[in-house]
Amino acid sequence: MILAVALAKLAAPPNAAPARPVVTARGPLLSADGRILAGGPLQARRYPHGSLAAPIVGFVGASGGLEGAERAYDGRLGRGEALTLTLDTRVQAAVERVLEDAVRRTDAQFASAVVMETRTGNLTAMASVPGFDLNRWPQVPPDRWRNRAALDEYEPGSVVKALTVAALLNEGRTTPDTVYDTPMWRRYAGATINDIVPHPGQLRTRQILRYSSNVGMTRLVEDVPPEVLHRYFSAYGFGRPVRLGLPTGDGLLRDPEDWGALSQATMAFGQGLTVTTLQLAAAFNVLANGGRYVAPRLVVGAPTGSRAVLSRATAASMREMLHGVIDEGIRAKAELPGYHVGGKTGTAQVAVDGRYSGEVFSSTFGGFVPAGQPRFTVAVMVRGAKREYQGSQLAAPIFRDVTSALLSLHAVRPDPGP
């Protein structure tokens, strides 16, 4: 026994150190304004900004990325490459703060918003609320991990009226001042179509947007072949996923062969098709960007592209009309003193258990600022607000507060003139 112990001591290396834990290097995830969103090795990954842009940044597990950019770009980050997102932490924080206040005030289920640079398509903010702390992700319900701005699909409501009118203007099927008979209700294709906001019995096209008239929209589309609207909706990016690098929803856009007179009319005012907030922002950006669709971009240096959807004249006409929607309609809710803004609200019933609910609504807004030469395009969605659920009451003030922060952060000068 004594001999065995002695031999064991001889075999053991002198001053043997305990085995060191394996450390796997991993590249940092950065924001466009130079902040570290995720850093450190795989086994000790840290997220210095906590909940900021959490569904976009994502998180890692023992063997690699599990959610968000950490998962989508796991290969590059795992090779030690740094990855820079187009997000601006100042803008992202401002948007999340505005959404959190709105959700808390109205007791809403959740909200999302997207901010795009009009010309480049760079996403400076993509927010989903409520969020979660990336450093404590295992303690959070998995539905909080969801990038709702890119994944949640919903019927957008009257915000789509602007995109429908743009298509018909571009086709020469109406003008801003074409007059239509618009009673407060109308029987159309076997259904009763109602308006909510009181208005005159005849409206120009621009006033159909101003009063958000469903009856007016039925007048606009009743002789339009389904293939025409379908072509434009598809060109706006509806019915297909945005190629972002991260998972995105494709929404629902039925083939034109499946459209009837009633379904075409309801889609023209935003029911019967579904979109994501990201898709809505990209579609409204067509109006802001001289009629060209610009692919949204999340990673700095990622390839992007653009395509013509509308003529420059049509886009300019729409910007002027949508400025009127704000200036003459919901000025108190969405205007920014000193700046011309343009946009459209929407409110849509949410289908619950296969039937439209009379209690659950999606409140939406799509718009841009400044309206004359837009720099930023913004889309907002809030679902399930218990109070102030109309788009003009809820989503429009969110747009106002978000764009106010944007213009301040970027020191954009007020518009000249009245």
Active site positions, annotated: 158
Around 241, how many Cα atoms within 13 Å sit in the side-chain half-sphere? 10
Query: In whole angstroms, what is the distance from residue 94 CA to residue 36 CA?
Result: 18
Query: In whole angstroms, what is the distance from residue 164 CA to residue 156 CA?
Result: 13
For the chain, the first-to-last Cα distance in angstroms comes to 101
